[in-house]
Structure 1
């Protein structure tokens, strides 16, 4: 069997690696460079604190690989389990927090529900005034996306044919079944094609006549020199009401990002603005200064950038064989990096075994958008 994986980000790399491990012939087509789009622009978050069963399960199934990445792939990805801390000022959200913690722990997590008085024990720089609740998990943290992509790419070795600067211009469908792809240079015959194209996934699906409600949304990140350094063991902290988060970076610096202040229009993935908006950066730091002691008038911005989330209406991915010979693994809504290890295994199971078994992903089919069968993921930043 020959499989073409479209997309050389972390999800596509994981899929290619898992397929090759099952002795399947794989060609990976990437329109640019390996890990050169959303992966390298990611904050690298890895967490178990989600609001739905399937997202929690994807996280827990991915975590062993993140924890053992250096042993498996020979690359230190700077995985730091300093925890995630979710904050809210809203009583309705606090009630959801309670439910989420129960669900997370039922699935195998280690989450805690916190009262405001307990916040400073987990993050001394947080001002608890105004917040009504929080959740925390020590299993959560972050890693370096570029190093993770490098590790997967190195592991492919000679087992996978990697074609960079090779956009897929068409998916060939014959008698209702995918039979290959067209690139600018050649036709590549394949029994199956994997759409792991991230922000381009909807466009790719359309080539095969499949309508995927996956929209590219622009998100921004900045690196700041805070007024008060952020300790290296501080958790990634999210003000869920505003969508703003920060986490420790190197030498006391902070990475700040989220959907705070974003108008959220759909972007053209080929031409969106990849630079940071300094007005957004100023507003984000001013907001953060109201609930943490780290940011104040002396805070400076070192650099920043923008990237794309591939967003679905319910903030869950599509992982499914949507058409005979076409498997989609896209639409992670900002969670693709952390769920990539499990996703690769699931795609390989679909291709090799005919159905997935690692995680029950029956709810991640594309028909749910017409049937309304999946609760929206609310723990989104």
Structure 2
């Protein structure tokens, strides 16, 4: 990546509020465009194109976007593999969230819509535990993976949400880790409000990554092409308030990695955005120093892996998702890594975009024990360390964040 600012596109404006007061603070001319895809053939993985990344901060509302994002470059199909529910740590988090949402919204015998439902496991849990009827929308749905009780009322539609979706019959709408993939976030939220014209009392729950943590940590591994929109609790709440919703709560969860938002339709339409001037200034300061932190983090990790190899050690990366692809691509260490492993069986045996590395099962590490295991998310360190120990392995374990 390169840190120098570059001129924004002539017509660039904030996709959240419409302001032209954008400041570019980070850019890279070419990064892989589909980090979460995996491929049966290595040649197909190596053919994944690159796209231009630019991070631009809106000084009017705090939203961060990639104004050079081209949605035509990104594909969401059967090769898109984002399911995290194979991890006990993540499953425990998701189970707690299911219970929380059911309690918050009183979801017993109600109608629930999940936009961007992925493989559908979260929606199934909502429906089973609350006796709810569910509708899931996602172009990457895999119904054959779902295990659900007989009688669960569930409809899955392999499609994107948008204006063409029409009216939603819902008591609650859930949208997790989808809005960051949407360029026109204002249009998306307005389309959501319009789709609920027949369900004015519907409750809304959104979940997205927290960009504040990314900026503070210089977490370049959490910045990739599919994520063209970045939020804090303030900027996400502002987006909803300005487009006809009342925000009841906004908070951080999962080790402060995720922004969560609870909202409902405001019958009076748009409301004052609110937000703290001090928070806006703090975010602006983080964007100004982000490039320096990224440079330090990239150097630290590159040196760590190269030092291990120079010492004759074996290095494995645990977690083959989007973070891994960004991490290996940007540090230039793909050829130094001896193995990339993942507990998701639908990733195992397939090849990662850009690097062409084949993903292995964790058990494969016993044949050639690693000396260093780089974990792609610190939330999973305890789980992974325990699994390594169960295989008789005790390598040094370090998490990127």
Which structure is higher in RCO with an 8 Å CA cutoff and minimum separation 6? 1
Q: Scaled by the length of structure 2, what TM-score is found?
A: 0.25
Q: Scaled by the length of structure 1, what TM-score is found?
A: 0.26
Larger proportion of strand: 1
